[in-house]
Structure 1
Amino acid sequence: MTPGWAWNRQLGPPMRLRSLAHYRLSGRSVMGEHYAPEQWRKCVTVAIVGLGVRGLGVLERLISHASLVDEKVTFNLHLVDPNPAQPHQYDIHQPDYLLLNHACAYVSMFPSVTSVAHAPATSGPNLFEWARERGMRVASDGFTVGGDGRQVMPNDNLPRRVFGEYLLWFHQYLRDNAPDNVRLVSHVSRAVDLQPKGDTSILYLDNGDRVEADYVFVTVGQLPSRARDDQDLSADVRIGTPYPLPGQLASVHPSETIAIAGLGLTATDAILALTVGRGGRFDRSVVPERYVPSGREPRIVVFSRSGLPYRARPAPSSVVSYEPVAFTRSAIDRLRAGTPQLDFDRDVLPLLLLEMRVAYRRAALLQEAGAGAAEVFLLRARAAAAAGRLHTLADLPGPAEFDAEAAYHGTLTPGAQDSPAPIDGEAYQRSVESWIAADLANAARGFEGSPFKAATEMCREVRDTIRYAIEFGGLTDASLDRFYRYHVETINRLVIGPEKERSANILTLLRSGVVSMSLGPNPLVTWDSGAAAWSLSSTAFPVRSTIRADWLYQGYTDRLRSLQDDTSVVGAMARRGVLRRFKPDSAVVSSIDVDGQGHPVAEDGSTASRIWIFGLLCEGATFYNGYLTSPQRFERAQFDVDHAVHELIKSVRREGQITSAFEGEACR
């Protein structure tokens, strides 16, 4: 056990789990007499398919709940993953310039007590504390982590491979601290099929083994779409799978041009792989910083449908947190009283925009007059909301001070409001550079100093209320499609952009000419078979331009549209009718169908009460599943898994196998 951290349970100190050899299910044998089967009266077998971030969260909850069982019952936990605790985006072998967009003090695999009600929360270090304990330091380039440089600070965005190391440590920490009635069995393999068999499920693995489990958790995530089978040469110069980096870009030569589709985090990673990853560096000894090329960079052209960059993330702060006034569950309930299904644009978005105006005024008052004045304003706002006249409150900022609608949607011309619309790509890029510079100035002031950033951050702060409004058929089919086609990207552009230092790097690369964003919004992209090159033509300006590119890089991840194409256990479950798509007629939503407890809905409409599915597979039926959890705050992902494991324990108890160590079934 790591010094200074203890397993937070009420049943005494942790017991160290012995090292377990792999065993075959048919023999039901384990190395070591400590786990001889005759010591136990009952066994419960649980399989976790997928041991990434969500799967490790399930494992933590199962171990914690098992520690409350006072009868001699073994929990056989089968962990199925070909690369346990190492999802590809957190591979420990990737370069250090690929960073988390979360400050390290705000990332933790250990749940908050506010998220888990039915079993004690395991205690342990967040990513910052863990890195500090190991003496990690940040080099002068601002991203390389090793033994040299300054100490890691709470607001540092550490390399993703460091978080991958944290995941491996967390996995081992859980194994080392599991109670004696938990037996962990690793299957370094891939599940390819699941066959229901009465009250159990038989999992078939690609190494020929099988596992018969009483309960199953599936957390494998969504597979990317298959590569297009083009008949021309374009397939050879289209990079349809963005990761792993920099390997996916190894064939791009310095003399060539690469077009990157997308302006989000994935595109930022690709730009860094083609610049810093090829020996370039940012010289911060001058202001503004300058880029020193290595000579190995290709020409980089980036574009997207919106043509708008993602906004830079300031350092995290608690100043943006308050009890919402306009965008609340009760407000959603009042809307739904008139119609069971809402339209996001018509019904929900006006409340969100109103809350952004409240957040702006509160932040401005905090900055100008202090906490007392801000609290008095919130009291007036709550009274006005209760009377149904919040939108008329004179204290709220008007469009001239803060245009919530423009801040949310962005504009085609991201320059100043009074600047003329760009007539060509060169003018457009200049306006983009001005837009990024202004955004960076806000990010540098932080949430405390920028009411604008505090207002846009509301889209993150109220994400659970957004969930409440849209999940499980809360929107009409047409509105749900528009939400995932438009609003998800819009919200992401506001609140999950790169850290401000990375946004500054992109601005430097634009100004240096290494990167171009001159195509503008929604360019026409075609394959020119005669020239054997990609042709990208601007569509938004009076003066049109065309750029030829040798490569097209898809800087985003397409998800499978058909479950029948899924080669994992998920596709097999669909073919067996165990699960189905949530909106089978949608060209946008690719989620599987789950109920409110996380059980998959079968083709016949029934639910599998002994199977749970969590994570990106559910994105569409539920919302915002692909995020890292933060310490000391409520996290829906941990809350849902805690309830699922509690449901499992109650199911076993009903069958007379175990009793709870606590009266009333829940730990208080």
Structure 2
Amino acid sequence: MNIVLVGAGPRNLSLLERLLAHAQRTDEETTITLFDPFPIGGRVWNPDQDPTFLMNTVTQQLTLFTDPSVAKSATGVFGPTFYEWAITVGPEFIQSHNFKNAAIFLDEIARINPNRFTSRALFGVYAQWFYENLGNYRPKNVQFAYLRKAVIDVQQTAPHMFKVLLEDGSTVDAEQVVMALGNADEANTNEEQGFADFTAQHTGLTYVPAGHPAEARLDTVPDNEPVILRGLGLNFFDYIAKLTVGRGGHFARDRAGELYYVPSGKEPKMIAGSRKGLPMHARGLNQKKDAESHRPIFFTAGNIDRFARENNGKVTYDFFFNLIEKEMNYKHYQNVISDFGLTWPFNAAEFLEALRHSANLNATAREWGVPDEYIMNWDRILNPLGESAEAVDYNEFMVKYLTWDINDALKGNVDAPYAGAFDMLRDVRPVIRHYLDAG
């Protein structure tokens, strides 16, 4: 059998390990080929990219291996998490290879912390080590290889046969093809194309189109000139980093321990905004060890299945969101009453039990005497400025809002009343996968 894996990022690398595990059970001759125009790790985790760009998951929560907690039909390879690899074999692996950013990687590892964030490039190095390590577990009946080429088309030629067309015009025949394409390019929207056209028609203007931040031509943005950053999502932080510390600026601490930024003088004058006008909520300081996660009470596969059975196999959006809202509200109130600095006139266990059986957790919290400032106000969460946005001193509001958000996040992604509830959404993704798998 000939298998083609399009993309050499984490998904296909994990799939490669599973294929090798299942191949132990058969004598069938199998060839597996990974294709990617980028190094092992793929576009997002390219080890050759600028290490300024950070991951959005802390180091101890990252791995390409399964562990005994994962049910598997074929036993595979166990190995170190990203953090464990970094503090053990990582430096030796880097020194034995010719990585473009080797000195920076070794510097990163010397300062690595299980609860902080490291570069996407360094995770790409871990991905390459993982790929090379799999060679030690290859069954005799399997050959696998990685080719740094782009796949531009896949055509089905028979019920179980595909022709894979490569960028150089050559083709590969395969019985199975898996496409894990990751972050693919998109054509400009009409609005974006309008920006590009306007820029081309006027001298002195620069337009950097939407795309992968590590490949954006930010060197074309002039020093000390105004630049608009459109959007405040994850890529916004990449651009901010590249246009500040990436241009020689750095951070220091004052005598009170507060961080402040020391500019290099090469930064542009950045004007940032989005439709919502606010950045993403601050990620809670990590308190979760390894695979530790929130165990849902309301938003469970069982509750979704039960509703589907009673409604001809369908789940309404209102029911689906109501379960998520109740789950987040419960976690919020659990963290509010866990604050040892507060004294409540009720038994905590009885209060939580009442919430578990409540149709409206906010109403129940009010009945038990929880003050309004601790009530989970969804209107305020979704629209912090409220309806009186034009009457608000925006600078004053923004400083207060960010201060509140950061102080809450510093309480941790387990204990914080808000950041703890928001972080829970990452833990219930298996329920969302179940919902999709069940159709």
Structure 1-normalised TM-score? Answer: 0.56
For the residue of structure 1 that corresponds to 2:126, the secondary structure is: helix
More RCO (CA 8 Å, sep 6+):
1
Equivalences for 1:262-301 in 2 at 5 Å?
A: 262-286=231-255, 287-301=257-271
Deviation of residue 223 (structure 1)? Answer: 2.3
Match of 1:167 in 2: 127
Partner SS, residue 110 of structure 1: coil
| Residues 307-356 of structure 1: per-residue CA shift (max 9 Å, x gap) | 12111112323498443222222332344333654443x33222222222
How far the C-alpha of 1:119 sits from its partner, in A, is: 1.1
> Residues 121 and 409 of structure 1: is their aligned pair in 2 closer, same or farther, counting only changes over 3 Å?
farther
One-letter amino acid of the structure 1 residue matched with residue 333 of structure 2: R
Selected match of 2:50 from 70, 92, 95: 95
In the alignment, the residues of structure 1 paired with residue 372 and residue 404 of structure 2 have an alpha-carbon distance, to the nearest angstrom, of 18
1:402 counterpart residue number = 375
Matching residue of 1:47? 4
Q: How does 1:133-172 map to 2 (within 5 A)?
A: 133-134=88-89, 145-147=105-107, 151-172=111-132
Q: 1:310 aligns with which of 280, 286, 296?
A: 280
Instruction: Identify the residue that residue 298 of structure 2 maps to in structure 1.
Output: 326
| Superposed displacement of residue 147, structure 1 | 4.2
Local SS of the residue matching 1:96:
coil
Q: Percent identity over the alignment?
A: 28
What's the counterpart of residue 206 of structure 1? 167
What is the distance in 2 between the residues matched to 1:107 and 1:158? Answer: 11
5+ residue gaps, structure 1: 1-43, 137-143, 415-419, 475-668
| Cα distance in 2 between the residues matched to 1:92 and 1:378 | 47
Q: Quick one: distance in 2 between partners of 1:375 and 1:113?
A: 33
How far residue 61 of structure 1 moved from its aligned partner, in angstroms, is: 0.7
User: Are 2:87 and 1:132 aligned?
Assistant: yes
- Residue 642 of structure 1 is matched in structure 2 by none
Q: Which residue of 2 aligns with 1:526?
A: none
1:466-497 per-residue CA deviation (whole Å, 9 max, x = no partner) reads 3444x3796xxxxxxxxxxxxxxxxxxxxxxx
Closer, same or farther: CA 432–355 of 1 in aligned 2, 3 Å: same
Partner of 1:68: 25
**Displacement of 1:112 after TM fit?**
3.1
Map of 2:421 onto structure 1: 455
Deviation at 1:378, TM superposition (A): 5.1
Q: Which residue of 2 aligns with 1:412?
A: 385
Would you say the 8 A contact 1:204–1:211 is kept in 2? yes
Secondary structure at 1:87 match in 2: coil
Verify the 8 A CA contact 1:360 1:397 in the aligned structure 2. no
In the alignment, structure 2 segments of 5+ residues that lack a partner are: 92-103
Q: How far apart, CA to CA, are the structure 2 residues paired with 1:51 and 1:148?
A: 24
Measured at CA, do residues 88 and 323 of structure 1 come closer, stay the same or move farther in structure 2, by a change above 3 Å? closer
Find the counterpart in structure 2 of residue 466 from structure 1.
432
1:434 paired to 2:406: no
Q: Which residue does 2:335 correspond to in 1?
A: 363
Greater alpha carbon shift after TM alignment, 157-166 vs 92-101:
92-101
Query: Residue 426 of structure 2 aligns to which amino acid in structure 1?
Result: R
Deviations 1:16-66 (A, max 9, x none): xxxxxxxxxxxxxxxxxxxxxxxxxxxx22111111111111111101111
Structure 2: how far apart are the matches of 1:332 and 1:458? 18
Q: State the Cα distance separating 1:429 from its structure 2 match.
A: 2.5
2:319 corresponds to 1:350: no
Q: Is the 8 A contact 1:357 1:397 kept in 2?
A: no
The C-alpha deviation readout for 1:241-292, integer Å capped at 9, x for no partner, is 3434375111111132110111122011101111111111111244432211
Q: Secondary structure, in 3 states, of the residue corresponding to 1:208?
A: coil
2:187 pairs with one of 219, 226, 241: 226
Mark the CA change 1:234 to 1:350 in structure 2 (over 3 Å): closer, same or farther. Answer: same
CA distance in 1, matches of 2:170, 2:265: 51
Residues 374, 213 of structure 1: CA spacing in aligned structure 2 closer, same or farther, 3 A cutoff?
farther
Partner of 2:38, secondary structure, is coil
Is the Cα contact below 8 Å between 1:263 and 1:308 reproduced in 2?
A: yes
Number of residue pairs the alignment of both structures matches: 409
2-side partners of 1:243 and 1:133: how far apart?
31
Q: Are the aligned partners of 1:113 and 1:121 in contact in 2 as well (CA < 8 Å)?
A: no
Relative distance call for 1:273 and 1:46 in structure 2 (3 A) is: same
Change (3 A) 1:408 1:180: farther
Q: Do the aligned residues in 2 keep the contact of 1:109 with 1:126 (CA within 8 Å)?
A: yes
